[in-house]
Amino acid sequence: MGLSNSLENAPAGTRALSSRLSVLCPLDHDFLATLARDVMAGLGDQPKKLPPKYFYDDLGSQLFDRICDTPEYYQTRTEQALLERIAGGLVEEIAPTDVIELGSGAARKTRAVLDAVHRSGRPCRYVPFDVSEGMLRRSARQLLDEYEWLTVSGIVGDYDRHLSLLPPGNRRLLLFLGGTIGNSEPEEAVRFLSRVRANMGPCDRLLLGTDLVKDHAVLNAAYNDRAGVTASFNKNVLSVINGELDGHFDLARFEHVAFFEPECSQIEMHLRSTIDQTVCVDRLEMHVDFAAGETMRTEISRKFSRASVASMLAASGLELCHWFVPDNDYFALSLSKPV
């Protein structure tokens, strides 16, 4: 299936928007079935857990974007400043024909790379890839307004299932930013990166953003912002289940919990039931019992070191070429290539 700008020739799921924008939507077909399967498995498990990708409906994506602006969430501004510092050198070294961004979200930091591409004067296509269609379309339109030379070929998909839809190119720079790789368990992350690696040609490069281990108080504060935006984001997964699967979660009966767990070097985000309760999810014909104080895990966010990033990349068939960190060592960007 190829990306297309033409409505007449468009494969199912492709919608033409303008001559510089095309969006492929493989997610349309099976989103609900996958959500139902994952929720049934996660709520039936002991302890209960839910996959983090279901935070990101349109509201969840906007809440994540607001988290990025909270004073406690150092990750976005640290990675942004680092990218601005290194983007010129990267673009000179790679001369990308395509910038592909997995989990592109609001594509805030992408501008640092696109500015460097603009300065290089070479043509380049941008390929955002995200589960959140509204956010992808909004950010694509903004980028097209800002960069009149740019073409955008978006993919509204699940990068666990639809990576094969990435368009081919000569020298593709793949971005996976925001520390999102940390949301996967170690083996899952290696399986994912191995699939990314299998998709890469010899001249393609992967720029991976990873959050680093640091003072626990800084980590804990980042996931417990005083304005409560992270708490709203966390509870949004319950609204998604209510909306899509006719669930009856009362958000007021769950509270946000997030803490650093040093043994696994990860932040864990949970929702804790404040009372004994049974919640029905009609479309799954499920009745889920929660004891007062019981938590279900909604996200992990693993924190890395240079050694743990290098070994994760090596296990995935990738070789670390450059390691970039800011002065405070809070966050790292690593450039890798297929072995």
Ligand X SMILES: C[S@@+](CC[C@H](N)C(=O)[O-])C[C@H]1O[C@@H](n2cnc3c(N)ncnc32)[C@H](O)[C@@H]1O
- Of residues 224 and 274, the one with the C-beta less far from ligand X: 224
Choose which of 78, 151, 180, 298 interacts with ligand X (CB under 6 A): 180
Sole window of 1-9, 126-134, 140-148, 329-337 interacting with ligand X (rule: CB under 6 A): 126-134
Sole window of 40-48, 100-108, 199-207, 218-226 interacting with ligand X (rule: CB under 6 A): 100-108
Q: Smallest gap, in angstroms, from Cβ of residue 178 to ligand X? A: 2
Sole window of 35-43, 176-184, 276-284, 311-319 interacting with ligand X (rule: CB under 6 A): 176-184
**End-to-end CA separation in angstroms for the chain:** 28
Please, are residues 319 and 303 in contact by the beta-carbon 8 Å criterion? no
Q: What binding mask, one character per residue, do residues 76-95 give for ligand X by CB under 6 A, x or -? A: x-------------------
Indicate whether 211 belongs to the interface with ligand X (CB under 6 A): no
Indicate whether 273 belongs to the interface with ligand X (CB under 6 A): no
| Nearest alpha carbon to residue 100 among 207, 23, 6, 224 | 207
Please, are residues 165 and 26 in contact by the beta-carbon 8 Å criterion? yes
Q: Smallest gap, in angstroms, from Cβ of residue 19 to ligand X? A: 26
Indicate whether 130 belongs to the interface with ligand X (CB under 6 A): yes
Indicate whether 103 belongs to the interface with ligand X (CB under 6 A): yes
Choose which of 158, 244, 255, 294 interacts with ligand X (CB under 6 A): 158
Indicate whether 131 belongs to the interface with ligand X (CB under 6 A): yes
Choose which of 31, 73, 74, 159 interacts with ligand X (CB under 6 A): 159
- Of residues 105 and 338, the one with the C-beta less far from ligand X: 105
- Of residues 22 and 236, the one with the C-beta less far from ligand X: 236
- Of residues 93 and 160, the one with the C-beta less far from ligand X: 160
Choose which of 100, 177, 231, 318 interacts with ligand X (CB under 6 A): 177
Sole window of 141-149, 158-166, 251-259, 289-297 interacting with ligand X (rule: CB under 6 A): 158-166
CA distances to 1, 53, 205, 212, 261 from 320, rounded to whole Å, are 32, 27, 10, 16, 27
Sole window of 101-109, 220-228, 246-254, 324-332 interacting with ligand X (rule: CB under 6 A): 101-109
Q: What binding mask, one character per residue, do residues 40-69 give for ligand X by CB under 6 A, x or -? A: -------------x--x----x--x---x-
Indicate whether 295 belongs to the interface with ligand X (CB under 6 A): no
Q: Give the C-alpha separation, 183 to 303, whole Å.
A: 10
Q: Give the C-alpha separation, 264 to 29, whole Å.
A: 36
Residues forming the site for ligand X (CB under 6 A):
53, 56, 61, 64, 68, 76, 103-105, 109, 130-132, 158-160, 177-178, 180
